[in-house]
A = this chain, B = another copy of it.
Amino acid sequence: MDEVDRTLLAELQRDATQAYAALGQAVGLSAGATHERVRKLREQGVIRRTTVDVDPAAVGRGVMAFVLVEANAWMGDSPTKTALEELPEVVEAHVIAGPASLLVKVRTSTTEELQASLRRLFAIEGVTGTQTIVVLESFFERPVDVRPG
């Protein structure tokens, strides 16, 4: 993981459709060498996958909220994870240190659907309460910065 790799990662985050020749120009390498660098980054797991960024509103997921989930037991275990994975509107789930046990990020079509989601979260074993933070506007959501610091 040198400076060249980081530049390649930043370029791929920006546009993963570009050809290896174009990608190589950004770092002064040939297509072949660039290909080999990227192959290794994938192999090492630094690049987890290549994916597309879909506009949530365009697929009927224009409502977003963060939900703090309180519980009467430790929720950092596998059954909880599985229960959350089964809810398609839950896009992130984190075990946290702070005012609750979990923080989940939810995307729904409407606020009515959000309400239905809260009902489903409440139904999970051990959950005693929720605190919902509705997003009014997102300034930005961007990939992790690959530069050291």
Binding site for B on A (CB under 8 A): 1, 6, 9, 12-17, 44-56, 58-61, 64, 66, 68, 76, 80-81, 84-85, 88-89, 91-99, 103, 107, 109, 113, 131-149
Contact = CB atoms under 8 A, between A and B. Distances in A.
Contact of A99 (B46, B56, B95, B133): B133
A7 to B, nearest CB: 12
17 contacts: A9-B59, A13-B51, A45-B58, A46-B58, A47-B52, A48-B52, A50-B53, A54-B143, A66-B66, A84-B139, A89-B145, A91-B141, A94-B139, A96-B135, A97-B136, A98-B134, A113-B149
B76 A136 contact: yes
B94 A135 contact: yes
A73 to B, nearest CB: 16
A12 to B, nearest CB: 4
Give this chain's copy count.
Answer: 2
A140 B15 contact: no
The 10 closest A-B pairs by CB, nearest first: A93-B139, A88-B145, A98-B133, A12-B52, A48-B53, A46-B58, A81-B139, A95-B137, A16-B50, A94-B135
Contacts of A80: 139
